[in-house]
Amino acid sequence: MSSEKQSMQALKFSKIDKAKFFRTLNKRVNLYFKDNKIKRTGNWKLYSKAILMFTLLFVPYLLLLTISIPEWAMLLLTLVSGVGMAGVGMNVMHDSNHESFSSRKWVNRLMGGSMYILAGNVYNWKVQHNVLHHTFTNIKGHDEDIDAGRIIRFSKNSKWFKFHKLQRYYSIFIYGLLTINWAITTDFKQTHRYLKQKLSYGHLPSPANQWTTLIVTKILYYAFWIVLPMLVLEISWWKILLGFFAMHYTAGLILSIVFQLAHVVPNTDMPLPDKKGNLEHTWAIHQLHTTSNFAPNNKFISFFTGGLNHQVEHHIFPNISHIHYGRIAKIVKQTAKEFNLPYYEYKTMTKALKEHFNQLKVLGRKPAYE
């Protein structure tokens, strides 16, 4: 057993919630669904949106393969596919792998498999996101979503290097590499690490099954997005690779920015446990301290990001479909206020972007203890 896993197991959230915040909130949210006679999972709104996002992803690709168009138009279509790729990730894959897309498990498994189309791996994603990120949000050494290696300092608890002084300028270029890294290196490293640590969300797959799934899906992925265009299109191979990169860069940039605005902003905490591994707050209250909403009343942002602009609601109720977040946000905000707890949000995406890059500027300064 690795020391990393041991330290993760040692972390303990406080069980002291004298005012019973989460019990009260959970009761009110359950009552909302009961009174309105609706399921906590997706409905026709989500399913129709899924069709739209898959259309944005695949139709440009099919047009590339079937009609004769100028190369500049081909590049433009790859960018549209990138937008669709991000849309599928945020609206379909994300809800499905949280088991909130549908009340039918087989539908969630099927739609959750869209992760393979995005160059990722379901097992890896569920461990990194559902287990580590949603449990140990913003805790260095446990939440891999705030670990960018040395290149970007997302946490005040991370080691500082001189080049971090410039991170507010170069970070935006790094963000776009998110999904291309899934396709090339990240999944292989995570599978090796997670299997070694015996981490899983639910059933732990056998190493043979996981490695087989990973390798086969990668081969199919490269065949579909790279080899097939090389066989069909009469353009240079490097131009096809450029289009592939452009698609992924577009998707990666969108996905990274949405995440950063929810967690790496001035108002969110980056807590550390004490020497015994104890955390200050209960799990639910911890989520309030480490997440932030942005543009909550912007219908387009809520629609396209799959409700990930309602990050507070998502972290407290990850198994509720995002199509309900706008309504239950009122309940969460009011309950947090009653219990004198934080409820962080930026009214506009522009404000959240500004605050995020200001935070990178602050984190890029040399700490006093260095």
DSSP state of 235: S
SS3 call for 199: coil
* pLDDT for res 13: 83
The secondary structure of 145-178 as a DSSP string is GG--TTS---STTSPP-GGGGGHHHHHHHHHTTH
Do residues 211 and 191 lie in contact, with contact meaning Cβ atoms separated by under 8 Å? yes
* pLDDT for res 370: 56
Do residues 253 and 175 lie in contact, with contact meaning Cβ atoms separated by under 8 Å? yes
* pLDDT for res 9: 45
* pLDDT for res 229: 97
CA–CA gap between residue 204 and residue 88 (Å, rounded): 26
Q: Which two tokens stand for residue 218?
A: 């990668």
Average confidence (pLDDT) per 10 residues, the chain, 370 residues: 44 79 96 97 96 98 95 97 98 97 96 94 96 93 88 93 96 93 92 95 94 97 97 96 97 96 95 89 95 97 97 97 97 96 97 97 86
Do residues 25 and 332 lie in contact, with contact meaning Cβ atoms separated by under 8 Å? yes
To which residue do tokens 């309030």 refer?
288
Name the amino acid, one letter, at 93: M
Q: Which two tokens stand for residue 162?
A: 């001189």
- For the chain, first and last CA: distance in Å? 32
DSSP state of 345: E
CA–CA gap between residue 191 and residue 179 (Å, rounded): 16
In the chain, where are the structural domains located?
Answer: 3-363
Which residue from 201, 294, 200, 287 is spatially nearest to 26, judged by alpha carbons? 287
* pLDDT for res 2: 38
Exposed / middle / buried, residue 67 (Cβ in 10 Å: 0-12, 13-18, 19+): exposed
CB-based contacts of 47, cutoff 8 Å, min separation 6: none
* pLDDT for res 222: 96
Which residue from 223, 222, 228, 197 is spatially nearest to 210, judged by alpha carbons? 197
Q: Which two tokens stand for residue 213?
A: 């799934």
**Per-residue pLDDT tens digits for 241-277:** 999 999 999 999 999 999 999 999 999 999 998 888 8
Do residues 95 and 42 lie in contact, with contact meaning Cβ atoms separated by under 8 Å? yes
CA–CA gap between residue 90 and residue 303 (Å, rounded): 10
CA–CA gap between residue 337 and residue 353 (Å, rounded): 25
**Per-residue pLDDT tens digits for 58-104:** 999 999 999 999 999 999 999 999 999 999 999 999 999 999 999 99
CA–CA gap between residue 19 and residue 35 (Å, rounded): 25
